[in-house]
Amino acid sequence: MRNRLYHKSRRMKDGFRAPTSATFRISIFGGVIGLFVILIIVRLFILQVVDMSVYREMAFGAQNLSAQLDAVRGEVFMRSVRDGELSPLILNEDRFLVFADGRRLEDPFSVADRLAAIMKISDEEEVDLKNRMSEIGSDPYEPLFKSISEFEADLIRDADLPGIGFVRQPHRYYPESVSASHLTGFTQLNDDNVRVGQYGLEGYFNRMLSGESGSLSGERDPFGAWIPLSERSIDAAKHGARIITTIDPAIQKFGCDVLIQDMRDFEARSATLIVMNPETGAVLAMCNVPHFDPNHYQNVDDISVFNNASIFTPYEPGSVFKPITMAAALDSDKVEPQTTFFDEGFEVVDDFTIRNAAEKKYGLSTMRDVLVESINTGVIFAARKVGRADFAAYVEKFGFGRVTGLELDSEVTGTIENVYKKGDVFLATASFGQGITTTPMQLIMSYSVLANHGKLLKPTIIHSFEHADGSVESYEPQEIRQVVSSRTASQISSMLTSVIEDGHSTRAGVKGYLIGGKTGTAQIADEEGGYGEEFNHTFIGYGPADDAKFVMLVKFENPNERFAASTAVPTFGKIASFLVEYLELVPDVE
């Protein structure tokens, strides 16, 4: 019995087997499979639950195509006052970037030689071009010329140069170049690669010219092509407006050419010309020197040249301000053209001695004489008659001390604080245009009041807007206020014709026409607040004096002649002679 039990237990012990290596591998494999299944489950959870929105967008992007529809920037034109014909002022044109693909270049030096000959670049530029092309290697995109014309691009295409490609780029083109640079302004790319207008019309009307971008979306097949029957969503771009300006191309060219030539002859530091229609407020021409080329605006040495001196650079006007003082005195019934006073050649005001130009003494003189001879003491007499408060009110009514609202970027106000100060010397000096500052635009608008029966109109450079939807928005003259009576304006106009016929401004006259105007030779204030030996010369006039169709301002900064009668006056006369013929004005006298 014991032996059987012993053998039974021995058999049971012998029946137990330890795990073999094969069994162990099976266990490990099973464990890996289990872990892999768990990872798959976790990954599916992440894909289908956690990151579901991300992959939904990826799938949508793979199946759908969207594109931005760029708006075309509006173009700008000048308009002839004679026949309404349009001439380009700002245009869009295609320019091209030329690049080299190093993977396709077979002989970089030979290609560089051909490109240099086509582009007519300098020897130094050719050496630089060859160096760059020799180092391209397998680079698929090496820019060579950043902005070339379509004509130049066609020449390169015709040469069939292997490895040379093009990228078409929208570009703004300014046909008038420097002569209209302060009218046009320019555009540049901002940090978001969006073209933005700067200065001039480009800056003032940037939003209107830019328009609004649109979008296009729809489904595509696995190869990226549009599925014809798929649903598409189109939000059309709204192209920029087309702007028609009041600038007359013939007046702009002739006037600016004369201004530039005379500025050189007079060796002046700067010059300004503005021509307007006083009946409508329309600016017919405007140019300033120094100027710049808006096609290559980045080449300037000093960015201050971008500022339009007509609206941005105030200065002490000098004697051209005297008709404004006289108009205030006439309109307030304080004097008449034949009112007399006795000139001793100087006035002592608040312990300051104010003298006439060249220290001249005129004796008994009328108010007409005051303007003809430009007598400082005479306008002081008239200003005192008006009184400080009323004089300040008239200065404001004429538009000084505030922007005119002309549709160009960066207009400033000038300063007229002195007309409000209590000291008598401030009233005295302001009466003949010293101690206050105005812009050329403000000055010509004040003379437009005198030329237009006492009415101040809003100045404008806009004839009409042509919007992308086909609608047209035309400018209508906007009367701001009646500054002085029609009688006062007529009296001043008569006195200003005497300035040209009997005074120092005879060279501003045009034979057969009554032209009225006034000179100003004003000392330029120095850094210490005093006055040195430099002068601004200004002449402002209009014609025909009794029914004016143009008013014009000419200004030179520090020319080589002593008085404006020798600089701004003859320049005005040349342009006025052109205007009466171009505008086909009927002569006043035989």
Q: Among candidates 107, 245, 266, 232, which has minimal Cα distance to 184?
A: 245
Is 188 within 8 Å of 198 (Cβ atoms)?
yes
Q: Among candidates 278, 281, 277, 283, which has minimal Cα distance to 246?
A: 283
Most confidently predicted of 30-39, 207-216, 424-433: 424-433
In the numeric block, the tokens 């890996």 are attached to: 32
Q: Mean pLDDT across the stretch 521-546?
A: 90
pLDDT in tens, 451-463: 999 999 999 999 9
HSE toward the beta carbon, residue 170, CA cutoff 13 A: 15
pLDDT above 90 for 168:
no
pLDDT of residue 503: 87
- Confidence label for 363 from pLDDT (cuts 50, 70 and 90): very high
pLDDT of residue 12: 47
pLDDT of residue 325: 98
Is 472 within 8 Å of 491 (Cβ atoms)?
no
Other Cβ atoms less than 10 A from the Cβ of 244: the count is: 22
Is 163 within 8 Å of 271 (Cβ atoms)?
no
Helix (H, G, I), strand (E, B) or coil at 544: coil
What's the residue count for the chain?
590
pLDDT above 50 for 579:
yes
Of 120-134, 211-225, 242-256, minimum mean pLDDT range: 211-225
Helix (H, G, I), strand (E, B) or coil at 28: helix
Q: How distant is the alpha carbon of residue 133 from its chain centre?
A: 39
Residues 6+ apart with CB under 8 A from 524: 315, 316, 531, 532, 534, 535, 536, 557, 558
pLDDT of residue 530: 77
In the numeric block, the tokens 């039974």 are attached to: 8
- Confidence label for 169 from pLDDT (cuts 50, 70 and 90): confident
pLDDT above 50 for 240:
yes
User: What separation in angstroms does the CA of 320 have from each of 221, 258, 313?
Assistant: 75, 22, 17
What stretch of H or E contains 367?
helix 367-373
In the numeric block, the tokens 């594109």 are attached to: 67
pLDDT in tens, 191-216: 877 889 999 999 999 999 998 877 66
Cis bond leading into 19, ω under 30°? no
Helix (H, G, I), strand (E, B) or coil at 235: strand
Other Cβ atoms less than 10 A from the Cβ of 396: the count is: 15
Higher pLDDT, 332 or 234: 332
pLDDT above 70 for 9:
no
Give the separation between CA 122 and CA 112, rounded to whole angstroms. Answer: 13
pLDDT above 80 for 301:
yes
Q: How distant is the alpha carbon of residue 434 from its chain centre?
A: 30
Q: Which residues on neighbouring strands pair with residue 437, listed in sequence order?
A: 415
How wide is the angle at C-alpha 81 spanned by C-alphas 75 and 85, nearest 5°?
Answer: 50
Q: Which residues on neighbouring strands pair with residue 218, listed in sequence order?
A: 65
- Confidence label for 87 from pLDDT (cuts 50, 70 and 90): very high
Residue 551 DSSP class:
E
DSSP codes of every residue in 464-532: EEE-TTS-EEE----EEEE-S-HHHHHHHHHHHHHHHHHSS-GGG--TTS--EEEEEEEEEE-TTSSEE
Residue 49 DSSP class:
I
Tokens of 483: 């500054």
Is 295 within 8 Å of 258 (Cβ atoms)?
no
Residues 6+ apart with CB under 8 A from 579: 251, 275, 543, 550, 552, 585
In the numeric block, the tokens 């680079």 are attached to: 139
Q: Which residues on neighbouring strands pair with residue 245, listed in sequence order?
A: 462
pLDDT above 70 for 43:
no
Of 163-172, 309-318, 505-514, minimum mean pLDDT range: 163-172
- Confidence label for 1 from pLDDT (cuts 50, 70 and 90): very low
Domains identified in the chain and CATH numbers: 249-260+268-582 (3.40.710.10)
pLDDT of residue 428: 97
pLDDT above 90 for 434:
yes
With 0-12 / 13-18 / 19 or more C-beta atoms within 10 angstroms meaning exposed / middle / buried, residue 472 is: exposed
Q: Among candidates 66, 57, 55, 53, which has minimal Cα distance to 224?
A: 66
Q: Among candidates 323, 396, 380, which has minimal Cα distance to 545?
A: 323
Give the separation between CA 77 and CA 429, rounded to whole angstroms. Answer: 43
pLDDT in tens, 467-477: 999 999 999 99
pLDDT of residue 6: 45
Q: Is 105 left (phi over 0), alpha (psi -120 to 50) or beta?
A: beta
- Confidence label for 568 from pLDDT (cuts 50, 70 and 90): very high
pLDDT of residue 279: 97
Q: Mean pLDDT across the stretch 396-425?
A: 95
pLDDT above 90 for 520:
yes
What is the pTM for the complete model shown? Answer: 0.83
pLDDT above 90 for 590:
no
Of 182-196, 310-324, 403-417, 451-465, minimum mean pLDDT range: 182-196
Residues 6+ apart with CB under 8 A from 450: 323, 327, 484, 489, 492, 493, 496, 516, 542
Other Cβ atoms less than 10 A from the Cβ of 109: the count is: 12
Give the separation between CA 539 and CA 521, rounded to whole angstroms. Answer: 9
pLDDT of residue 47: 55
